[in-house]
Amino acid sequence: MALKLVPRPQPSQLMVYCSPLLALGLTLVAGFFMFTLMGIDGWEALKAFFILPVSDSYGVSELLVKAVPLVLIGIGLSIGFKANVWNIGAEGQLVMGAVAAGGLAIFFHESEGFWVLPAMMALGVLGGAAWAAIPAWLKTRFNANEILTSLMLTYVAGLFLSYLVHGPWRDPDGYNFPESRMFADSALLPVLLEGTRLHIGLLLALALVIAAWLMLSRTLIGFQVKVVGAAPRAARFAGFQQKALIWFSLLLAGGLAGLAGMIEVAGPIGQLVPQVSPGYGFTAIIVAFVGRLHPLGVTVAGLLLALSYLGGETLQIEMGLPQAVTGVFQGMLLFFLLACDVLIKYRLRLGKA
């Protein structure tokens, strides 16, 4: 006798939306036992990971700072995933957006014009979109797998940034450290709350969440995205242009990732450094799936995954655990979510091997 997966006649829509909560609960249980097996008080570790980082107003502001890029990238990826366009290279698109925006701030470091910040935003979007255009062209022209091409371009972008900050864009007064000069005040995002790093990128992210929700629910392009993803054959019969949607999905995701890169270098970082992201582009993939590819769900998931970064830092300080704990929790959350999704669509049945 062996266990078999048998398709369910009708997957439960209630469980589709409740499964992220179930996955989070299973992650907490697994985390508790993981810490216990390591000889660490499980309750105290979970408290330090999930509660202590947001126990004061500054912690909440840091949560929002880290959630902004995750939500922006997650929105773009979720729209592409709905259309079965699998962009895995948002990290590289974030980096190229940061490079494009940071280049403007470096070359006009003495300018105090009001135009600098809007121009940096535009260049950030264009930089990310241009990097996403490469896998879009390869997909539509040669049917190259966008998963592979977008992922490989991520490492090219990282090496390009490293070359710039170690070479031509290195701060001449920076004692040979691999970093650019600090951006001028005109190239920095205004802070919303004094004494914190919370910037107006939060307002921009919320506006784009609403815009994405309206696009998916009220526009023809949003309808096409959903139909192409749910019923590709029906989309072809309806005359929807699949190649156009591939370009749209990748350029949108790349543009939002590039905007997130601009926000990072013009906000919390304030300059170009060899690593402008702790992996937001990859974590945003989890954000998109935990948020059920819905803009409002992505917002909540972005806050949850932002908390995982803060929790990892807190555990490192309070208990001396490695920063890799963040990745462990993110991985467990994705694993349990995928496991729940399998059981939503299939049921286990005993049968002959």
pLDDT in tens, 302-344: 999 999 999 999 999 998 988 889 999 999 999 999 999 999 9
Average pLDDT over residues 207-218: 96
User: Is 298 within a domain?
Assistant: no
Residue 10 maps to a domain: no
Domain that holds residue 89: 63-285
For CA atoms 24, 29, 34, 40, give the dihedral sign: positive
Could you tell me the pLDDT band of residue 1, with boundaries at 50, 70 and 90?
Answer: low
Whether 23 is in a domain gets the answer no
**25 pLDDT exceeds 90?**
yes
**Is 100 inside a domain boundary?**
yes
Residue 316 lies in a domain: no
- Tell which residue, 71, 80, 70, has the closest CA to residue 147: 80
Residues 6+ apart with CB under 8 A from 308: 49, 283, 326, 329, 330, 333
Q: What is the pLDDT of residues 276-312, one digit of tens each?
A: 999 999 999 999 999 999 999 999 999 999 999 999 9
Helix (H) or strand (E) holding 123: helix 116-142
What is the C-alpha separation between 192 and 211, in angstroms, rounded? 22
Residue type, 266: A
According to DSSP, residue 322 is labeled -
pLDDT tens figures, 80-95: 999 999 999 999 999 9
In the prediction, which pLDDT does 213 show? 97
Average pLDDT over all residues of the chain: 94
Host H or E run for residue 345:
helix 325-345
DSSP class per residue in 130-176: HHHHHHHHHHHHH---HHHHHHHHHHHHHHHHHHHHHTTTS-TTSTT
Q: Is the pLDDT of residue 235 over 90?
A: no
Q: How confident is the model over 94-144, as pLDDT tens digits?
A: 999 999 999 999 999 988 999 999 999 999 999 999 999 999 999 999 999
B/e letters for 21-39, b = 16+ CB within 10 Å, e = fewer, are eebbebbbebbeebbeeee
Structural domain includes residue 130: yes
Contact 240, 227 (CB under 8 A): yes
Is residue 96 a contact partner of residue 258, using CB atoms and an 8 Å limit?
yes
Mean pLDDT of 53-70: 96
Is 80 exceeded by the pLDDT of residue 353? no
User: Would 4 be classed as within a structural domain?
Assistant: no
How many structural domains compose the chain? 1
